[in-house]
Each structure stands twice: as structure tokens, then as C-alpha cells.
Amino acid sequence: MNLRLSLRSQLLIGILVPVLLGVAINTASLYRQALRAADTAYDRTLLASAKSIGEQLAVVGRGDAAVLQANVPYSALEAFEADNRSRLYYKVSGFRGEMVSGFEDLPAWHGRIPAKGPYAALVDFYDERYRGEPVRMAVLLQPVAGPEGRGMATVQVAETLELRQTLARQILVDTLWRQAALLAVLTAVVLLVVQVATRPVRALSAQLRERAEDDLSPIEAGRAPRELQPLLDATNHVMGRLAQLLEHQKRFVRDTAHQLRTPLAVLKAQLQSARRGDVEPAQALAEVAHTVDRATELANQMLALAKVEQMRQQGDAPVSDWAVAARTVALDLGALIAQAALEFDIETVPAPIRSHDWALRELTRNLLHNAIRHAPPGSPLTLRLAARDGMAELRVEDRGPGLSAEQQARLFQPFAAGRGGGTGLGLAICHEIVRTLGGSIALVNREGGGLAAVVRLPLAQNPAP
């Protein structure tokens, strides 16, 4: 199952989990420190009891015959027993390790005095077990001197751990509830901060949900944080592209419905006239064929105009040779050129353009077809394709009537017919193709008559071999 967490959940998990781990580690560290402090405090008391016993020792005898004598009543240790919750045991060993006083079964010491201890005494602390329960043991090496001899006595004092364990539990409880209170405060602060930080995201979500289905206007950034700005910019860019695409589709449907209505109405009227016998059958068929040709040309050019918009949305295109496309178009229109008895001249050089091949052919076909349509019979017609300075330039020149100022003002507008009729879409298609490919197009009246159509497109950089 693909579990997708909300941004708020991710922030809470990303913040609270490390905080929780940190608090847990800190709690364990504080607990260990508190236990060490408690051990140090109780060890000091244990050392005091060992010293108290050491003060009761004396030496009897001289030289090698000197022995240790202890007079330690157990009541002397009662002052060191806390609230009767812990018990003390002791053992005093003589100069040669012999038992002197105390509990004989107390385990003997086999360790050594630390080089640097926390107390100014020859003492060693360690954990041991005595009579089946854990105890804390203190071993004190006590120098004993008298008028008749001297030596080093070993004093062992063991304490049961009831009081230490009770204190440890109390320290743990105190540490836990304090850390729990700290964690609760941190959680509340994090929840508040995350709630405030994600408020702009929720506001944007609500704004988008409340929008109409056809509302593609830019999203207002408002108080959105800086981190959301790239997302908003990208979203507004996509919505702008969608708005343009929808507007183009609406315009295409509107224009298509408007433009096709006329030839269809004419075609219907011609068929009705032919059925009534108002015109000769041959003439009626010729008129119907002419109307169908005009409607077909209009439909094809409308589709070509829509295809140009689709090409603009697709982005990168393959590299095509404009020279190949131009010569292919010239060959396709050869019959029209021959019918008009035009003196056609074509010169091309390789011109790699980053474009779909159909777009280059559609561009060249419209320009050359317009020139053929308006060139006087038997006049020169030239098509030249050159490449220099990173640009490819196509020039189509004829000896037709040229353009008036009024025609030049609305030349590239859809359905604005230029010289001698037509659908009015050819130059609009050329203009859209050139604009999509990042080039320029101009129609210039030539001196001495005629028109020159000049198209410049950028050459492809590093075209594939």
C-alpha cells in the first residue's frame, strides 16, 4: 500500500521523532549521572563508616608478634544505617589477613586500590553479593600504630542496596516526568509552528477548490512563504499555457463553424438549384466541384493552423533540412507552375532547421502557391534558400501586383484574404509557423512590381549527422 503523508504529518514526524530520540537519550544520560551522584554520596557514607571502624583498632605486641585488636560494637554502625532500610556488614582483617572482627563470611577483597581515587584515603569501592543479595562494598586500608608496633589493617564494609534502589527509582520517576513535561511543551510548540507554517498551503488548497472549472487565471501568491514561490510560478506558467491552448481551441471551433457555414450553405443552394433544373448539369457539377474544392482547402488550412499550435505545445522538434522540403514542394506544385507558363528558378543550399518536416513544407507551400496564383502568365518566379550568420533565409519573388497599404496592415490576420481572394489562412499559417520556430517573415513590394516574401529561421545548432 502506497502511504502518502501530508506535509503537516511529514513536518511533525521529521521534527518530533528526532526530538523524542534526543529527549530519550538525554533522559538516560541524566539518569546515569544522577545514579553516579547518588553512588558518590552513599560511598562517602560507606567510607565514613569504614573510617569509624578503623579508629577503633589498636596494636598489641611487639615486632613480628604484634597483632591487631578491634573493639567495634555493631551499635557503632547504627548511625550510618539510613531509616533502617539498609543494613551494614563489616569485617576487619589483620596485618597478615587473619580475621579480627566482624562477619567472617563476608567475601574477601582481592582487588587493588585505584591510583587516583575520589577520596583522600586508601579505599576501593565495588559491587558484590553477600548472603544472596547485592551489596556495595568499601575496602579501606587503615594504617594502625601503637607504642608497641604498627601495620596495615583491612576494613571491609558492605551495605545493602535498598536505599540506593529506592533513590534510583525516585530519580528515574522525577527525571521521566520532567522530560515528559518538556516533551509535551515541545510537542505543543511544534504543533503550533507547523499549523502556522502550513496555513498558506491550506489557504491555497481552499482557493483552488473554490475555483470555477474554467478559471485558469494566475494563482495569487498572497502570504505564501518563499519556498512555495517556485511551485506557484510553475503552476501559473502551466495554467497560462492551458489558458492559451483552450483559447486557441475555442477560437478554432468558432472560426471553423463560421467559415465552413458559408461554403456549406452555397453547396446546398447549388444542389437545390441543380435539382430544380435551373442550370445545366455540367455547369452545376462544375460549380459544386469548385465549392467543394474551396471547402476542402479551407478545412485543410484550418487543420494546419491547429497543428501549428500543437507543435508549439510539444516543445523540441527534430532537425529537418529546409532545402529538401523546399524542393519537394516545388516538385509537387510543378503542374501549377507549368500551367501558368512561369519561368521558375530555384536555388537551395543545405539548411538544417529544428522543426518538423511538415511545418517547413507547409510554410514553403503557402508562400510558393500564393506567388504562383498571383504571378502573371509567363513571368519569372524565383525561390532561393541561403544560409549565413546562423540563419536560413528563404526568398520567394514574383512579378504580381504586390500589396496595398490596407492589405499589408491586416496581412497575417486569419481570414483576411490578400491578393485575389483565397481562404485568408495561408499567410496566417506561415506567420504562426515562423513565430513558433523563432524566426521572422516579411512581404515586401519589389521595385518595378511584384512581391518578395522573405522568411528567416535560425539554423539548428550541432545538427545530428
Task: Check residue 309 and give its pLDDT.
Answer: 64
**At residue 413, does pLDDT exceed 70?**
no
CATH for 393: 3.30.565.10
Amino acid letter, 245: L
Segment among 65-69, 84-88, 161-165, 301-305 with least mean pLDDT: 301-305
- CA dist., res. 122 & res. 139, Å (int): 8
Q: Residue 116: which domain range?
A: 7-171
Q: Same structural domain for residues 120 and 226?
A: no
Task: Check residue 32 and give its pLDDT.
Answer: 82
Q: Same structural domain for residues 325 and 441?
A: yes
The verdict on residue 222 lying in a domain is yes
- Average pLDDT of the chain to the nearest whole number: 80
Q: Same structural domain for residues 111 and 73?
A: yes
Best CA proximity match to 457, nearest among 338, 334, 319: 319
Amino acid letter, 101: S
| DSSP β-ladder status, 380-388 and 343-347 | parallel
- In the listed set 227, 243, 259, which residue is the last one of a domain according to the structure? 243
- CA dist., res. 304 & res. 322, Å (int): 18
Q: Same structural domain for residues 351 and 443?
A: yes
pLDDT band with cut points at 50, 70 and 90 for residue 175: confident
Q: Same structural domain for residues 45 and 142?
A: yes
**Torsion of Cα atoms, 48 then 49 then 50 then 52, to 10°:** 90
Q: What is the mean pLDDT of residues 246-250?
A: 71
Task: Check residue 420 and give its pLDDT.
Answer: 47
Task: Check residue 402 and give its pLDDT.
Answer: 82
Amino acid letter, 224: A
How many CA atoms within 13 Å lie on the side-chain side of 41? 11
Q: Number of folded domains in the chain?
A: 4
The verdict on residue 438 lying in a domain is yes
**At residue 26, does pLDDT exceed 80?**
yes
The verdict on residue 195 lying in a domain is no
Q: Alpha carbon of 435 to those of 242, 249, 325, 376: distances in Å?
A: 19, 18, 19, 30
The verdict on residue 184 lying in a domain is no
The verdict on residue 286 lying in a domain is yes
- Judging by beta carbons within 10 Å of its beta carbon (0-12, 13-18, 19+), is residue 378 exposed, middle or buried? exposed
Q: Same structural domain for residues 449 and 302?
A: no
Q: Same structural domain for residues 19 and 128?
A: yes
Q: Same structural domain for residues 364 and 442?
A: yes
- In the listed set 313, 334, 353, which residue is the last one of a domain according to the structure? 313
Task: Check residue 419 and give its pLDDT.
Answer: 47
**Most confident by average pLDDT, 25-34, 209-218, 270-279, 372-381:** 372-381
- CA dist., res. 445 & res. 451, Å (int): 5
CATH for 256: 1.10.287.130
Q: Same structural domain for residues 258 and 335?
A: no
Task: Check residue 342 and give its pLDDT.
Answer: 93
Q: Same structural domain for residues 237 and 258?
A: no
Q: Alpha carbon of 397 to those of 290, 323, 402, 419, 450: distances in Å?
A: 28, 17, 10, 15, 7
Q: What are phi and psi of 422, to 5 degrees?
A: 95, 180
Q: Same structural domain for residues 293 and 350?
A: no
Q: What is the mean pLDDT of residues 241-250?
A: 73
Segment among 25-29, 79-83, 324-328, 373-377 with least mean pLDDT: 79-83
Quick: pLDDT tens for 70-115.
776 665 566 555 555 678 888 988 877 888 888 889 998 888 888 7
Instruction: Report yes or no: 47 and 138 within 8 Å, Cβ to Cβ.
Output: yes
Angle at 112 between CA 107 and CA 115, to 5 degrees: 150
- In the listed set 243, 259, 291, which residue is the last one of a domain according to the structure? 243
pLDDT band with cut points at 50, 70 and 90 for residue 368: very high
Q: Which residue would you say has higher pLDDT here, 4 or 383? A: 383
Q: Same structural domain for residues 333 and 431?
A: yes
The verdict on residue 204 lying in a domain is no
The verdict on residue 296 lying in a domain is yes
pLDDT band with cut points at 50, 70 and 90 for residue 322: very high
Q: Identify the residue whose cell numbers are 545538427.
A: 463
The verdict on residue 202 lying in a domain is no
Task: Check residue 456 and give its pLDDT.
Answer: 94
